[in-house]
Every structure is written in C-alpha cells, then in structure tokens.
Amino acid sequence: MLGLRKTFQQYFESFANLRLPDSGGDQVLRNQVENAMNSPTQFRVFSDSFVIYVPLKSDDEPLGPAIGIFSALISACFVMIAALRGTHPIRGGIDVGLGMEIAPGEIYGPALERAHFLESFVAEHRRILIGDGLWQYLSLGESVPVTCPASNAVRELTRMAKELVSDDVDGHRILDYLGPKFLKESGADFGPDMVKPAYEFVVQQDELWRSRQDAKLSARYHNVRQYFESRLQLWGLVGDNS
C-alpha cells in the first residue's frame, strides 16, 4: 500500500508534463496556464483511501479548476492500472459537490459524501465511477462562450476530460483508464508492458474465483476482464476472451 501511495503521488505530480492547450504564442494565456498549474489541487491518503480534491470556485483563474479536474482524472487512470499491476485493486468515485477544507488536508461536505457513496455502494467491482455532478460540470465547461484564449482553453480542457469517460455495460459512467484518450495522453514511457501485468492479474483473479465457485467475486473480476478485453487491441495486446 505504501508503494501505491508513492505511485499515486508520482503520477499526480507529473501531470504538468501532459499535453495542455497550446497558448498559440499568447503571453497572457501562457501566464494564466502557468499560474493555474500552481492551483491548490491536492490529494491526501489515510489508511487504504485516497482523496483528491480540486477547488472549483475560482473567479480570478478559471483555468485552475479545468486543469485540476483533468489532472485528477489522468492521475486516476495511471493509478488504476498501477494498482492492478501491483495486485492491490481499487475502486472509487469522482463527483462534484459542496465542500470545505476544515483543516489542512481535511475535506468536509457533500462532495466527499457523493464520491464515497459511488465507491462504497454503486461501483461494486474494480472501477472508478463518474458522478452526475462532475459530468454536468464538464458539460457546462465545454459549452462556455469563447470570449478570450483562456475561455477557449477551458473548453478544450473540459472536452479532453470528457474523453476520459465512457459508459460501462450497466450504463454507469466510468473512468476509461484504458481508453483511446488516456492512451494518447499517457506518453511514450507508458505502454503495453505496463498494461499487460494488470490484465494478467485480472485474468488470474477471474479464474481463481470461478474455480472456487464464488459467484460474487468471480462476477466482479469478470466484469473488469471484459473491460480490459474491450481495450486490449488499442494497446497492441490480445486477450484470450475465455
């Protein structure tokens, strides 16, 4: 678990190396992007839980929330795969709601409750659910009027964030951590050799719990396996589809 914490921090802090909207030579926009990169997007860990929080009310710097959400989603993609590779599978929920930092690193309010509800009572198997509040927020950001380069960048970032989301077989929106958008943004250092061990672990768990006739756990891992096998071709991998 300590290794997973370190991996999460590594990916979370490296999101600045990912592709962000080009300033197109606009110095004002470039300065806004640099300032937004220092926005107070943070994560905290306690026990076996990870909490990312992104302040969304930012009258002075609208790019901050957009970059924060995108970085949180990208980081969660990395960590989801890393957790499966490390045989410490996780599930989670990401949503938008009211909240306040009542002490350094301690968030309180409906935002945390919504995410916890998605993780504890809806996700069921190893996936990260996207709440309605976050989806609505992204949809609003994607449709903001373009009045300046910064607002155009906000639209682009929220569009990119929405491309990290897909519909699961049961209709729930999930983080598409093996999807085409993450593949495009993950960089040359993250490839099939990172995904293959995660897939092998999922297959092993699926077969283990089926052999033990544990209907609950076998169904959960079989669902994850189906998701992987729907994405393996993107990564140049082939599954056995058994």
Tell me which residue of 95, 119, 120 sits closest to 109, measured CA to CA. Answer: 95
- The whole-angstrom separation of Cα 77 and Cα 155 is 21
Residues 177 and 205 in one domain: no
Q: What is the pLDDT of residue 60?
A: 55
Is-contact 90 186, C-beta < 8 A? no
Residues 167 and 118 in one domain: yes
Residues 149 and 198 in one domain: no
Residue 143: CB atoms within 10 A of its CB come to 10
Residues 74 and 107 in one domain: yes
Q: What is the pLDDT of residue 172?
A: 97
Q: What is the pLDDT of residue 16?
A: 44
User: Quick check: helix, strand or coil at residue 21?
Assistant: coil
Residues 90 and 148 in one domain: yes
Q: Which residue has the tokens 């945390």?
A: 112
Q: What is the pLDDT of residue 71?
A: 82
| Host domain of residue 201 | 191-242
Residues 203 and 173 in one domain: no
Predicted TM-score (pTM) of the model is 0.86
Question: Among residues 130, 156, 182, which one ends one of the domains?
Answer: 182
Residues 12 and 132 in one domain: yes
Query: Which residues of the chain are modeled with pLDDT < 50?
Result: 16-17
Residues 61 and 176 in one domain: yes
What is the domain count for the chain? Answer: 2
Residues 217 and 124 in one domain: no
Question: Among residues 155, 182, 209, which one ends one of the domains?
Answer: 182
Contacts of 193 (CB under 8 A, 6+ apart): none
Bridge-partner residues for 93, per DSSP? 129
Residues 88 and 122 in one domain: yes
Residues 214 and 237 in one domain: yes
Q: Which residue has the tokens 């409906």?
A: 110
pLDDT digits (tens, 9 = 90+) for 40-51: 566 676 656 777
Residues 160 and 232 in one domain: no
Question: Among residues 160, 182, 204, which one ends one of the domains?
Answer: 182
